[in-house]
Chains A and B, each alone.
Chain A
Amino acid sequence: MTDRTPGFATLAVHAGAHPDPTTGARATPIYQTTSFVFNDADHAASLFGLQAFGNIYTRITNPTTAVLEERVAALEGGTAALATASGHAAQLVVMQQLMRPGDEFIAARKLYGGSINQFKHAFQSFGWNVVWADPDDVGSFERAVTPKTKAIFIESIANPSGSVTDIEAIAAVARNAGVPLIVDNTLATPYLIRPIEHGADIVVHSLTKFLGGHGNSLGGIVVDAGTFDWSRDGKYPMLSEPRPEYHGIKLQETFGNFAFAIACRVLGLRDLGPALSPFNAFMILTGIETLPLRMQKHCENAKAIAEFLSTHPAVAAVNYAGLPGDPYHKFARKYAPKGAGAVYTFSLKGGYDAGVSLVSNLKLFSHLANVGDTRSLVIHPASTTHSQLDDAQKTAAGAGPDVVRLSIGIEDKEDLIADLAQALGS
């Protein structure tokens, strides 16, 4: 395989997973252990000093989790990755490497409600100040740049609105500002969009969603594109300056184009602690093996259901970038030609009450606060995931009171359409 570049489905099954060297086990074993013995004192010192590759403690590295990390790095086209306990933990670890109290980062207004909360409340309390911009107006990102800006954060496909972001245009703003572009690629997955190919420097995921795919395990991941020069102007001392945490090592100088992933691991995971359970890593790895097959079915079903809803008399509007009339259709064709994902919203002519009624009448769709499951899911964001936001923020995030969010699963689409038809009434 040396000079042939493997395809996506091959990587989804194989990347990172060699047969176990000791037992020959072909599936990746679950190394459910906290700690790993050292060969001798010098080996221990080498590992603690980052001079050797190896395992110390599962908070920092674990052989099962490492397979997952390499797998996702390969699927995204990155140099390395770092798994975390959740997508939120991934964002925390990323920002800890980039931000100092008083710094700013620019974030798209259309984000998962949990991210809006994390940025606005938790990160603000650390002195990491979010400045909001409108992903439909690239100029709003340009105007938000100040000397304190350290990063730009967007979602490739926004939750809950399902709108597709013009990644390349915002990457150009980040490049001009000399800051990294962070893309949350959870709803697209690398099967539909590979943000690094469009200029992203860091990709984050909630693995809990389509990558794991079965709604059984939380997880998050940070992928290092290996594209950003952290040492150019001293703005990122976690990577460019001698680290007192490791007796004066400079991480970029030592680890080159995967230094950001190493920083997230040895400064982030080590000191903040949100490591992924090896068991969850195993479950998510198993899910990833079928990611291409599942995403094809998710997208096929999502489009069929969007078409059904768009002609239904009770429906006011369907916001699905896979439909030709959608304002984001041109970006979907450019960035996600294989499908516009399976999470989107629609609004009901009957407003809030009709949304509540729909959710309670559905029999196959589950009413819950997750997306990217094999099962079809439904939620009313205004009263749940986005309930902490004020009305203006709800509307800006695509989660107004009349809006219902769907996450389309991989069941038979005829059954899903029949369920929606009976719940909407005739």
Chain B
Amino acid sequence: MNHDAYSDDYIREILSSVKSIAMVGASPQNVRPSYFAFKYLAGRDYDMIPVNPAHLGKSLLGIPFVASLADIGRPIDMVDIFRSPEHVMPLVEDALALSPPPKVIWMQLGVRNDEAAAKAEAAGLKVVMNRCPKIEFGRLSAEISWLGVNSKVLSSKRAAAPVKGMQLSLGPAPRNNDPM
């Protein structure tokens, strides 16, 4: 696996197949990048679990923090790591000890640990490093183009509308199905 450049298909397959994401290092502070990503992904109907022992007893968007991956107590599809590279290997070992293990290990922008990646890949997991799932979701859905970002995606097909068709409105305005 070349971890310097991922194909759009590789990222798209991951983001369209995973449903539950444990975010390790999630912060309840609303200016932290992990909070941004957590909120965005929760708004895209991913089943988000905040993992951070420092915030045990608190919750993020109403979802209680857990201290470790082992404490989640149910299968998860992806572990999204907001920790510096030296903390990644023990987290990958924790993830591989889960039964069943997750399908994907994702390391955030600025986080890369090739040794941990190789270990996860040897166990059959997919790995993404130095990327943000929020940015990748926004890029592949063309939503990030609203910020003038080069999505590198060309298409002659109509993009998905941010609402699911027109709705008859007799009472209060119809609520947008897409929360962001």
Docked CA distance A3–B154 (Å): 11
* Cβ-defined contact, A39 with B176, below 8 A: yes
* Cβ-defined contact, B149 with A261, below 8 A: yes
* Cβ-defined contact, B148 with A73, below 8 A: yes
* Cβ-defined contact, B7 with A2, below 8 A: yes
Q: Which residue of B lies closest to A49 (CB)?
A: B30
Within the complex, what minimum Cβ distance (angstroms) separates B144 from chain A? 5
* Cβ-defined contact, A80 with B39, below 8 A: no
Contact string against B for A residues 112-151, beta-carbon threshold 8 Å, 1 for contact and 0 otherwise: 0000000000000000000000000000000000000000
Given contacts A61-B146, A247-B31, are A52 and B40 in contact (CB under 8 A)? yes
Q: Which residue of A lies closest to B142 (CB)?
A: A18
Docked CA distance A387–B29 (Å): 55
Within the complex, what minimum Cβ distance (angstroms) separates B91 from chain A? 20
* Cβ-defined contact, A21 with B160, below 8 A: yes
Q: How many residues of B contact A (CB 8 A)?
A: 42
- Residue of B30, B31, B151, B160 contacting most chain A CB atoms (<10 Å): B31
- Is A249 an interface position by the 8 A CB rule? yes
- Is A22 an interface position by the 8 A CB rule? yes
- Is B28 an interface position by the 8 A CB rule? no
Docked CA distance A262–B30 (Å): 18
Docked CA distance A265–B8 (Å): 27
* Cβ-defined contact, B39 with A51, below 8 A: yes
- Is B159 an interface position by the 8 A CB rule? yes
- Residue of A53, A54, A69, A78 contacting most chain B CB atoms (<10 Å): A53
User: Hey, which chain B residues are within 8 Å of A262, CB to CB?
Assistant: 147
Q: Which residue of A lies closest to B29 (CB)?
A: A248
- Residue of A2, A20, A82 contacting most chain B CB atoms (<10 Å): A2
Q: How many residues of A contact B (CB 8 A)?
A: 55
* Cβ-defined contact, B149 with A15, below 8 A: no
Give how many A-B residue pairs fall within 8 Å (CB-CB): 128
Q: Which residue of A lies closest to B152 (CB)?
A: A74
Given contacts A53-B146, A69-B148, A261-B149, are A256 and B159 in contact (CB under 8 A)? no
* Cβ-defined contact, B179 with A63, below 8 A: no
Contact string against A for B residues 19-58, beta-carbon threshold 8 Å, 1 for contact and 0 otherwise: 0000000000011010110011001000000000000000
User: Hey, which chain A residues are within 8 Å of B162, CB to CB?
Assistant: 21
User: Hey, which chain B residues are within 8 Å of A422, CB to CB?
Assistant: none
Q: Which residue of A lies closest to B30 (CB)?
A: A49
- Residue of B150, B151, B178 contacting most chain A CB atoms (<10 Å): B150
Which of A40-48, A86-94, A285-293, A327-335 forms contacts with chain B?
A40-48
Given contacts A22-B161, A63-B146, A66-B146, are A253 and B33 in contact (CB under 8 A)? yes
Within the complex, what minimum Cβ distance (angstroms) separates A285 from chain B? 13
Which residue of A20, A39, A53, A55 contacts B144 across the interface (Cβ within 8 Å)?
A: A53
* Cβ-defined contact, A82 with B132, below 8 A: no
Contact string against A for B residues 121-152, beta-carbon threshold 8 Å, 1 for contact and 0 otherwise: 00000000000100100100011111111111
Which residue of A10, A22, A24, A80 contacts B154 across the interface (Cβ within 8 Å)?
A: A10
Docked CA distance A37–B8 (Å): 31
- Is A70 an interface position by the 8 A CB rule? yes
Within the complex, what minimum Cβ distance (angstroms) separates B131 from chain A? 9
* Cβ-defined contact, B147 with A66, below 8 A: yes
User: Hey, which chain A residues are within 8 Å of B154, CB to CB?
Assistant: 1, 6, 10-11, 14-15
Q: Which residue of B lies closest to A18 (CB)?
A: B159
Residue pairs across A and B with Cβ atoms less than 8 A apart, 26 shown, are: A1-B154, A2-B9, A18-B157, A18-B158, A18-B159, A19-B158, A21-B159, A24-B158, A40-B176, A49-B30, A51-B35, A53-B138, A53-B143, A70-B145, A70-B148, A70-B150, A70-B151, A80-B147, A80-B149, A80-B150, A82-B148, A249-B31, A253-B110, A254-B33, A258-B150, A265-B148
> A18-B142, A50-B36 known; 19 other A-B pairs, CB under 8 Å?
A1-B153, A1-B154, A2-B7, A16-B145, A18-B155, A20-B158, A39-B180, A46-B180, A51-B35, A52-B180, A61-B146, A70-B151, A73-B148, A80-B148, A81-B150, A246-B31, A256-B135, A258-B149, A261-B148
- A-side interface residues toward B, CB under 8 Å? 1-3, 6, 10-11, 14-16, 18-22, 24, 39-40, 42-43, 46, 49-55, 61, 63, 65-67, 69-70, 73-74, 78-83, 242, 246-249, 253-256, 258, 261-262, 265
Nearest 5 interchain pairs by C-beta? A69-B148, A73-B150, A52-B180, A39-B176, A21-B161
